[in-house]
Amino acid sequence: MAEHDARSDEVLMTEYTAGDAGAFDALFARYESRAYAYFLKRTGSRERAQDLYQDLFLRVHRARDGYDPARPFTPWFFQIAHHIWIDDIRRADRAHEVALDERELHGAVGDAERVSDREDLARALDALSAEERFVLISAKLEGRRYGELAKGLGKSADAVKKLASRALQRLRSESVAGVEPARARAS
């Protein structure tokens, strides 16, 4: 186990920027478990958390010359983490495809309606931004609190509530727009 380094995070980052690789090692040791926990809490996946926290330290390395030693290190570090997490959500949203079981496609009429409803919902969700989708799903489906989401997004709880409300309104309007033509055909 490494000795505790008494230097502040800001001093370590400044020394690392000046070329001291040992300072980076000290920062890594200090923040490794916190970064991993940050991503694990948000992704729920050990593998994703591992990949994202490694990406975080790579980005810290790349952004080292932009670090301002007059500002606290921890918010700067976790702002980078937040951007990585949002980027990961956006990548996942772009790659998201709804897999349909063969039985759902060839099932009874009720099954066909469920498939249609899922497709309508997927289209409506796709009309939302990645952040809106994330907030709406996290708050309404996963039951996460606005305050918790606000911390992760770097916004106030009220701003996150408004974002969720607007997203829900947009989702409803997209769903209604997509459902009405189907109802009209059925009449």
Interval 112-124: pLDDT, tens: 555 566 676 677 7
Same domain assignment for residues 53 and 128: no
Same domain assignment for residues 106 and 182: yes
How many Å apart are CA 156 and CA 99, to the nearest integer? 36
- Is the residue at 3 inside a domain? no
- Is the residue at 4 inside a domain? no
Q: How confident is the model at residue 132, as a pLDDT?
A: 82
Same domain assignment for residues 116 and 160: yes
- Is the residue at 54 inside a domain? yes
- Is the residue at 29 inside a domain? yes
What pLDDT tens digit does each residue of the chain (187 aa) get? 445 778 999 999 999 999 999 999 999 999 999 999 999 999 888 999 999 999 999 999 999 999 999 999 999 999 999 999 998 888 877 665 444 444 444 444 455 555 566 676 677 777 778 788 788 777 777 677 888 888 878 888 888 888 888 887 877 776 555 544 433 334 3
- Is the residue at 84 inside a domain? yes
Domain assignment of residue 118, given as a range: 102-186
pLDDT tens-place string over residues 58-88: 999 999 999 999 999 999 999 999 999 998 8
Q: HEC states along the chain?
A: CCCCCCCCHHHHHHHHHCCCHHHHHHHHHHHHHHHHHHHHHHHCCHHHHHHHHHHHHHHHHHCHHHCCCCCCHHHHHHHHHHHHHHHHHHHHHHHCCCCCCHHHHHCCHHHHHHHHHHHHHHHHHHCCCHHHHHHHHHHHHCCCCHHHHHHHHCCCHHHHHHHHHHHHHHHHHHHHHHHHHHHHHHC
Q: How confident is the model at residue 131, as a pLDDT?
A: 82
CATH number at residue 178: 1.10.10.10
